[in-house]
Every structure is written in C-alpha cells, then in structure tokens.
A and B are shown apart, each in its own frame.
Chain A
Amino acid sequence: MAKIIETNNLSFSYGKEVILKELNIIFGGNKFISIIGPNGSGKTTLLKLLLRLLKSDNGEIKLDGSNLKKYTNKELAKEISYVPQKSEIDFEFTVYEIVSMGRAPYIKNLEKEAKKDKEIIENAMKMTNTWKFREKYINCLSGGELQMVMIARAIAQDTKIIILDEPISHLDIHHQVEIMNTLQKINKEKEALIITVLHDINLASQYSDEILLLNNGEIVAKGEPKKVITKENIKKVYNMEFLFLEHPRNKLPYILPK
C-alpha cells in the first residue's frame, strides 16, 4: 500500500536563522522524488524533520494521516528508512552485520534473527550486489561500496518510504549511475516511495517522477522534471546562466552552465 507523508505549515530555525518557512508538501505513492536546491536551502533539514531527527518549531508532519509524534522510534523505523550522506563506522563490523541491523525494528532485545529475517537480508544484499563482500569489514570499503551497503540496510528494513541524503555526491560517475539504477529498481520492485536529496540536477531530471526545488527554505517549484527545471526557476535559484538542452534519448531537461 502506498504511503503518504505530508507537512502542514512546517517551520524550522536554528536560533534566529530561519531554515524552513511554513512548508506545505505532500509526498505520496510509489514515486521517485528528488529534492534539489543550492546549499543552505533547507534540503537536509527537511529530510531530518521527516525522519524526526529534528523537532520542528511549528507545524506538523503526518504519515498516512496520523501525526509523526505519535509513533515510537520502532514503529517509525518500520515505515521509513534512512541512508545518511556519510556513514563513519570506526568499529570492525562485517558488511553482513551492518545490513542485518536493518532488521532491528522487527526483533526484540535478546532475540536472534529468524529464518525469514535472514532471507530478507540476503535478498537485500543480492539486490545491491553487496552479497559477494559480506564478510568484509565495513571500515575497509570504498565510498561506493559503503553507500551500497547502507542502501542494502534500508532495503532490509523493509519500509515503504526510503529517505536518502545526497547518496551520490562524493562518488564517481560509474557508482553514481549504479546507485541511481538501484534506487530506481527498489522504487519499482519494492513499490517504495523514494525521497532523495540530490545535487546533480541532470541526474535528478533523468530519474525522478517528481522534483522539489527549494530555495531559502521555501518551495520554488514541485512537479515533473519538465515543469521544475525551467529557465526561470533555475536562474532564480542558482543565480547564473545555463544552457537548456534535451536529453537525446528521453527528451528530459538537461542543463549545462553557460
């Protein structure tokens, strides 16, 4: 069943600095949604509010109609999973151990993973091509491998919403595309709502059903890539001139700095 997550007049500020101004957004269905915008536009803050890692000053967030505050951490962990921008794990856990932590919301303290949990973990790892290095230590992986492991953990968590914070910004082009393809596969096969912050406007355009363009804590545009990535919007937000092209295959917007 598709999930709907919505914000009503959501505001957030660090001291006197206002980060988000009364946002009203609805994310729903099995969509692939990208959030784009310049640094400091409030993208990560929005994600952290949706994950309840930050507390809003004003307004509320509802998941399928009920206030996010009503969920325990465990209940929420069965609905939304999270792939952080960077994971720094100093302890020598194996890749398998890290992915199996995705089952934590379903397992009581002192209990072990059941057979079903192990199957889910294995499937998640095979879907992300991480099964082959499951015995490796997590602190010995490359950036691309590590990010894949984190995505595998999110799949193992078996949620209908997956939130990612700039999952590809520090990776090479090969790993970027590999990760975007994997996310698309999860979106289609697991019928999961993907909400990801991206810096690469062109990749956002190619992969997203919907794009949310933020600037100074406000919504500039939201909708299909063609409607959001327009000369007017992009110039206003990024404050520079771009060449606007079409991707030769799928006719989606493609931009280059002038």
Chain B
Amino acid sequence: MFGTVHISFKKLIAILFALDTNEVPKAYKTIILDLRLPRTFLAGLIGAGLSVIGVVYQSIFKNPMADPYVLGISSGAALGATVGIAIITKFSHNFALISILSFFGALFTLVLVYKIAVIKNILPVITLLLAGISMNFLFSSMISFIMIVKKEHMSEILFWIMGNINSASWKDVLFILPIIFFGILIIYYFSNDLNIMQTGEETAKTLGVEVEKVKKILLIITSIMVAGIVSISGIIGFVGLIVPHMVRLIIGPNNKILIPFSAFLGAIVMIFSDVLARVIISPSEIPLGIITSLIGSPYFIYLLYKNKKKMI
C-alpha cells in the first residue's frame, strides 16, 4: 500500500491480519485501516462500475465512443455538487450534503433526458444520445457560470469535478458497494440481450429481445450507478471508455465474458491510477481523474491509430 507515509510490507501484513499489533505505531494502523484500505476498495468498486457501464452504453448505442458520462447524468451530478459547494456556502464542507445534492442532480437529469428522448413510448438511441449531449453542454455552462460568479470556490469545484477519492471512508464503500454489486448483476442478467442488440435493434426485436424494455431497465440501472459513483468520486474520465476496449481486444465482444472481465480490469486500472495520484507529487495529491485521462487518452489514440491502419 503506497502513499505519502511509507509503511513497510511487513508492517502492512501485521496490520491487515491483526498480528502482534504492538510492534506497529497506532497512526500506521489508522492510515492503513481507515484511510488507505477503504480508499483502495472504493477505487476498485468505482473502476469496476464505470467499466461495466461503458460496456453497456457501447452495446446499446452501437458506438465504441460511448462512455458512462454520455447521457449527461454526470453533468447533472456535477451541477448538484457545484450548487452544494458554491451556493449553500454554510455547509460547504459538508461532504454528505454535496454527495446527496449531486446524487439527486444525476437522477433529475435522467428524468429530463428520458422525457426529451422518448417518442411514443419508444426510446430511439439517437435522440437519447443527442439529449445527453445537450444536457452535458447545458450543465457544463451552468457550472462555469457558477464558478465565474463564485470565484472563491472555483478551485474547490474544479477539484471535485476532476474526480478524486481523497476523502474515502468505509461509509462511502458501504454506500456504493450494493449499488455496484447489484447493478453489475442485473446488467449481467441481460448480457445475451446486449450481445444481440449489438447487431442492430430491429434484428434484436425479430430475435425475440424486448429491446425497449431492456433499454429502459438498463438505462435506469446504469444511471443510478453513475449517480452513486459521481456523487462520491466526481467525474473520473476515460476508464469507462478504455477498459471495455482493452478487454474486447483480448476476449472479443461477447458480453457474457466481457462484463466480468471489464469489471475486474476496471478495478485494477482504477486502483493503480489512484496509487499514482497519491505518489507522483507526494506529499500533494493529483485528482484521480487527471491520472486516468493522462494514461487513457494516449492509449485511446493508439487504438484509433491501430484501427485506422486496419482500414487502409
């Protein structure tokens, strides 16, 4: 376990398995058990969740560029948090309130996007995508506006939006664990339907998939997951976009394998990125979202380049 305070592997084992704890300073115990351990769990859960949501959106939208934030749910969450940080100044250090506001901001956006996109009870993916994109723009400009007006909170807002899990606690882990766990289970239940939907919605209907129903269920499940994740960690980019691609390159597009493997790799990537965020400019920390984008975008460009070569 890495971080600003160096704790040896031997001591770590002692702490984790509650061995001979007299030998280890009490502060170390706190650092490991109450700070670094929940943080590692949280990073893993968030990475797994974001990656599986990425898999779902790329299947539903038949678009490899789709990521967990494409529907604007995250921007709604960010707006909620921004309002929490900047306007309700009295409570500005009340993290729980900020989380609650961003969670409801996300759910509110889901309802909004759904209402805009739905036509006669059918949810065309094109209108869904466009509604999401417009919400993203709208909310981003509102956030920028608030930042300009409330300059004194700008860095705090920016730090939140860029994504980090500095203040991770066991409470956060307990909150997000059931959302991610059951979310992924429900998504996995529809893995076969998702496979077929990748070959086109009309085809999927004629193969017996209740396309509209599946889309609505998955939209709601993933939105709740995004809301939960963003309310705790802010907007951590690229993991939900890159990990599904990496896994697809290795094991192919079959969601039955793709979903569990993406969850696994997503967790690893996120834990690794969080370690980097902690140690690169130690004792300061970099927002986790910056690390994932720094690693993610060159890799994505590499993927695009490889694909381009294949086409020529």
Which residues on B sit within 8 Å (CB–CB) of A51?
202, 205-206
Query: Is there an interface contact between A109 and B189, defined as CB atoms closer than 8 Å?
Result: yes
Which residues on A sit within 8 Å (CB–CB) of B209?
73, 104
Query: Is there an interface contact between B192 and A110, defined as CB atoms closer than 8 Å?
Result: yes
**Given the contacts A89-B200, A92-B252, A92-B253, A76 and B208 also touching, CB distance less than 8 Å:** yes
Q: How far is the CB of A217 from chain B (nearest CB, A)?
A: 21
Which residues on A sit within 8 Å (CB–CB) of B200?
84, 87-89
Which residues on A sit within 8 Å (CB–CB) of B203?
82, 84, 87
Instruction: Judge whether A219 is part of the interface by a CB distance below 8 angstroms.
Output: no
What string of 1s and 0s marks CB contacts (under 8 Å) between B230-250 and chain A? 000000000000000000100
What string of 1s and 0s marks CB contacts (under 8 Å) between B190-216 and chain A? 111101101110110111111100000
Instruction: Judge whether A41 is part of the interface by a CB distance below 8 angstroms.
Output: no
Query: Is there an interface contact between A109 and B190, defined as CB atoms closer than 8 Å?
Result: yes
What string of 1s and 0s marks CB contacts (under 8 Å) between A37-48 and chain B? 000000000001
Instruction: Judge whether A229 is part of the interface by a CB distance below 8 angstroms.
Output: no
Closest to B201 in A: A53
Q: How far is the CB of A161 from chain B (nearest CB, A)?
A: 11
Query: Is there an interface contact between B196 and A104, defined as CB atoms closer than 8 Å?
Result: yes
Q: State the CA gap A60–B206 with chains docked (Å).
A: 19
Q: Which of A80, A90, A107 contacts B206 (CB 8 A)?
A: A80
Instruction: Judge whether A157 is part of the interface by a CB distance below 8 angstroms.
Output: yes
Number of interface residues of A (CB under 8 A): 33
Q: Which of A53, A90, A93, A94 contacts B202 (CB 8 A)?
A: A53
Instruction: Judge whether A225 is part of the interface by a CB distance below 8 angstroms.
Output: no
**Given the contacts A92-B253, A93-B253, A107 and B192 also touching, CB distance less than 8 Å:** yes
**Given the contacts A84-B202, A110-B192, A77 and B207 also touching, CB distance less than 8 Å:** yes
Which residues on A sit within 8 Å (CB–CB) of B205?
51-53, 73
Q: State the CA gap A53–B203 with chains docked (Å).
A: 9
Instruction: Judge whether B62 is part of the interface by a CB distance below 8 angstroms.
Output: yes
Instruction: Judge whether B94 is part of the interface by a CB distance below 8 angstroms.
Output: no
Which residues on B sit within 8 Å (CB–CB) of A77?
206-208
Instruction: Judge whether B178 is part of the interface by a CB distance below 8 angstroms.
Output: no
Query: Is there an interface contact between B252 and A93, defined as CB atoms closer than 8 Å?
Result: yes
Query: Is there an interface contact between B62 and A90, defined as CB atoms closer than 8 Å?
Result: yes
Which residues on A sit within 8 Å (CB–CB) of B196?
101, 104
Instruction: Judge whether B124 is part of the interface by a CB distance below 8 angstroms.
Output: no
Instruction: Judge whether A97 is part of the interface by a CB distance below 8 angstroms.
Output: yes
Closest to B254 in A: A97
Which residues on A sit within 8 Å (CB–CB) of B64?
90
8 Å CB interface, B138-193 against A: 188-193
8 Å CB interface, A32-66 against B: 48, 51-53
Q: How far is the CB of A114 from chain B (nearest CB, A)?
A: 14
Q: How far is the CB of A14 from chain B (nearest CB, A)?
A: 14
Instruction: Judge whether A78 is part of the interface by a CB distance below 8 angstroms.
Output: yes
Query: Is there an interface contact between B252 and A87, defined as CB atoms closer than 8 Å?
Result: no
8 Å CB interface, B211-233 against A: 211
Query: Is there an interface contact between B206 and A109, defined as CB atoms closer than 8 Å?
Result: no
**Given the contacts A89-B198, A109-B193, A104 and B208 also touching, CB distance less than 8 Å:** yes
Which residues on B sit within 8 Å (CB–CB) of A227?
none
Q: How far is the CB of A193 from chain B (nearest CB, A)?
A: 15
Query: Is there an interface contact between B208 and A105, defined as CB atoms closer than 8 Å?
Result: yes
Query: Is there an interface contact between A91 and B202, defined as CB atoms closer than 8 Å?
Result: no
Query: Is there an interface contact between A102 and B190, defined as CB atoms closer than 8 Å?
Result: no
Q: How far is the CB of A154 from chain B (nearest CB, A)?
A: 9
Query: Is there an interface contact between A53 and B193, defined as CB atoms closer than 8 Å?
Result: no
Closest to A110 in B: B189
Q: Which of B188, B207, B254 contacts A93 (CB 8 A)?
A: B254
Q: State the CA gap A109–B64 with chains docked (Å).
A: 25
Most chain A Cβ neighbours within 10 Å, of B193, B196, B252: B252
Instruction: Judge whether A118 is part of the interface by a CB distance below 8 angstroms.
Output: no
Which residues on B sit within 8 Å (CB–CB) of A105?
207-208
Q: State the CA gap A89–B208 with chains docked (Å).
A: 18
Which residues on A sit within 8 Å (CB–CB) of B207?
77, 101-102, 104-105, 157
**Given the contacts A90-B64, A93-B254, A109-B192, A98 and B208 also touching, CB distance less than 8 Å:** no
8 Å CB interface, A96-153 against B: 97-98, 101-102, 104-105, 107, 109-110
Query: Is there an interface contact between A78 and B208, defined as CB atoms closer than 8 Å?
Result: yes
Q: State the CA gap A88–B198 with chains docked (Å).
A: 10
Most chain A Cβ neighbours within 10 Å, of B198, B208, B253: B208
Q: State the CA gap A87–B252 with chains docked (Å).
A: 19
Instruction: Judge whether A205 is part of the interface by a CB distance below 8 angstroms.
Output: no
Closest to A150 in B: B203
Instruction: Judge whether A69 is part of the interface by a CB distance below 8 angstroms.
Output: no
Instruction: Judge whether A74 is part of the interface by a CB distance below 8 angstroms.
Output: yes
Given contacts A73-B211, A75-B208, A88-B200, 15 further A-B contacts (CB under 8 A): A53-B206, A73-B209, A73-B210, A74-B210, A77-B206, A80-B206, A89-B199, A90-B64, A92-B253, A94-B252, A97-B195, A102-B207, A109-B192, A109-B193, A110-B188
Please report B residues at the A interface, Cβ cutoff 8 Å: 62, 64, 188-193, 195-196, 198-200, 202-203, 205-211, 248, 252-254
User: Lowest 5 CB-CB distances: which A-B pairs, in order?
Assistant: A77-B208, A105-B208, A91-B253, A74-B208, A82-B206
